[in-house]
Structure 1
Amino acid sequence: MQALHSKTLINRKRLSEIIPLSTRTIYNLEQRGEFPRRIVLTSRSIAWDLSEVVEWIEARRASGVQAARPGDERS
């Protein structure tokens, strides 16, 4: 396990600056195992490991998968 002192945690505000998705979308992705899990710090504070979020972004970029656009007729 990686040493705790080398982790950078980010809060929801910082996450939303990096990942422009709604709170609900992030939660749904987490529940499906498609996004890094949040870390519960206190009953009112959550955070994400910045390195895991960056890895998620890079994996999305590398996959080449593009979201379907409304009206797109892809098979």
Structure 2
Amino acid sequence: MNNEPVHKVLINRKMLLAMIPLSERTIFNLEKRGEFPRRIALTSRNVAWDLAEVDQWIEARRSNNIPATRPGLTS
């Protein structure tokens, strides 16, 4: 059994938005629906995300092979 401490890398909002080209509102809505990693409250005014969880979310999107569609558009 490995008893080494696990060090998480946290990213702030600015870094998250540089990685994920979505608006803050869209990310918040995805979080509320459980479709995006939850933010971690560091203080009452500062939040962060676990980089490993965000990377896993990106990889899941990359590997699901579902074509992007826009609501209201039909082929």
- TM-score exceeds 0.5: yes
Structure number with the higher helix fraction is 1
User: Are 1:33 and 2:34 an aligned pair?
Assistant: yes
Alpha-carbon separation, structure 2, partners of 1:4 and 1:26: 30
Alpha-carbon separation, structure 2, partners of 1:9 and 1:42: 14
Aligned length: 72
* Structure-1-length-normalised TM-score: 0.86
In the alignment, which residue of structure 2 is the partner of 1:42?
43
* Structure-2-length-normalised TM-score: 0.86
Task: Tell me how large the CA RMSD over aligned residues is.
Answer: 1.9
Counterpart code for 2:23: S
Rg: which structure is higher? 2
- How big is the shift at 1:5? 4.8
- Secondary structure at the counterpart of residue 36 of structure 2: coil
In the alignment, which residue of structure 2 is the partner of 1:64?
65
- How big is the shift at 1:67? 1.9
In the alignment, which residue of structure 1 is the partner of 2:56?
55
What is the identity percentage for the equivalent residue pairs of Structure 1 and Structure 2? Answer: 62
- Secondary structure at the counterpart of residue 46 of structure 1: strand
Q: Which runs of 4+ in 1 moved over 3 A?
A: 69-72
**Higher mean C-alpha displacement, 60-69 vs 33-42:** 60-69
Which consecutive unaligned segments of at least 5 residues does structure 2 have? none
User: Are 1:18 and 2:19 an aligned pair?
Assistant: yes
